[in-house]
Structure 1
């Protein structure tokens, strides 16, 4: 991390923390309110292999507003359909982030197979504005994107969506709401030891 911060300072680059998560129709259970003596019941559809995968970047540069950039992928459980993000999907998201941020990117992510494959290394090398650093193993506390996923999953607790499309719409809706809460990302970033994004 220290090396990434030094390079980012020298290049005036954005530090982008990347991570992925997934949500199925089987909602996470959470405590809720109910009339005394009445057990609350939330009907959910847990059948099938429907999954919404999300890849996200929490982006940081001192003096600039922190940002969340994300992409979703819907997996309906069909044969041959990709179940998650692959190298080309990550590359497209990083290209979009570069266009939005108007600056070099220092990418910080974990050791997922798709992050360290030969194909991914080739895609990174082909982008002169991009440098990648790997987080140490079992160091989720250093990645603010993990906190975004935690907040997202809390907001989806006891959710009773019945279709893949409704689930994807709800996930996007929750993330869009979070995008407007810049102070939220600032708190996630400072918790990793970075100075506040805005002076």
Structure 2
């Protein structure tokens, strides 16, 4: 990668829940505590993120949130291959250098249209991690 002057990019999906965490508390028998939470929602905001690294440069995070569409009405809850393609194009334009994405074996990552996109562009080289390597991918902690 140093010879290519490329950015090493670890990529993964993450999400933020808008629901507050639940917990158990002690109370006197017969006096159930009531905790009011304003704005409680079951919404989850998914993001696709790239953690990028290069020798002598600061590490950065490039991410794209997915607009929440109600999945009960036919909306898609996950990212499509075009979302990943667009994220990589944006990363390449922002960084101004070749990128080497490293990611897991999610089905959409191996989509034939995304693979064809990668093979037709010389500024991108892709590597896959083992089946589930949370210790190898820094984006897993997001």
TM-score range, shorter chain: 0.7 to 0.9
The reply on whether 1:77 has 2:43 as its aligned counterpart is no
TM alignment of 1:14-163, pairs within 5 A: 14-29=7-22, 41=35, 43=37, 45-47=40-42, 50-78=43-71, 79-147=73-141, 149=142
**RMSD of aligned Cα (Å):** 2.1
In the TM superposition, residue 87 of structure 1 has moved relative to its aligned partner by 0.5
Task: Name the TM-score, length of structure 1 as normaliser.
Answer: 0.60
Aligned length: 132
Indicate how the Cα distance of structure 1 residues 28 and 134 shifts in structure 2: closer, same or farther if over 3 A, else same.
Answer: farther
For 1:50-82, what per-residue CA distance to the aligned partner results, in whole angstroms no more than 9, with x for missing partners?
Answer: 331100000000011111100001223152322
In the TM superposition, residue 28 of structure 1 has moved relative to its aligned partner by 3.3
Instruction: Report the 3-state secondary structure (helix = DSSP H, G, I; strand = E; otherwise coil) of the residue aligned with 1:97.
Output: helix
In structure 2, how many angstroms separate the alpha carbons of the residues matched to 1:126 and 1:29?
A: 48
Instruction: Report the 3-state secondary structure (helix = DSSP H, G, I; strand = E; otherwise coil) of the residue aligned with 1:10.
Output: coil
Indicate how the Cα distance of structure 1 residues 46 and 64 shifts in structure 2: closer, same or farther if over 3 A, else same.
Answer: same
In the TM superposition, residue 45 of structure 1 has moved relative to its aligned partner by 2.2
In structure 1, how many angstroms separate the alpha carbons of the residues matched to 2:124 and 2:96?
A: 12
Point out the structure with max Rg over C-alpha. Answer: 2
Could you say which structure has the higher helix fraction? 1
Task: Name the TM-score, length of structure 2 as normaliser.
Answer: 0.82
For 1:93-143, what per-residue CA distance to the aligned partner results, in whole angstroms no more than 9, with x for missing partners?
Answer: 110100111110000000000001111101211221001100112211111
In the TM superposition, residue 14 of structure 1 has moved relative to its aligned partner by 0.3
CA contact (8 A) 2:69 2:76 kept: no
Which moves more between the two structures, 79-88 or 105-114?
A: 79-88
In structure 2, how many angstroms separate the alpha carbons of the residues matched to 1:30 and 1:133?
A: 41
Unpaired runs of at least 5, structure 1: 1-7, 32-38, 150-199
In structure 1, how many angstroms separate the alpha carbons of the residues matched to 2:102 and 2:119?
A: 15
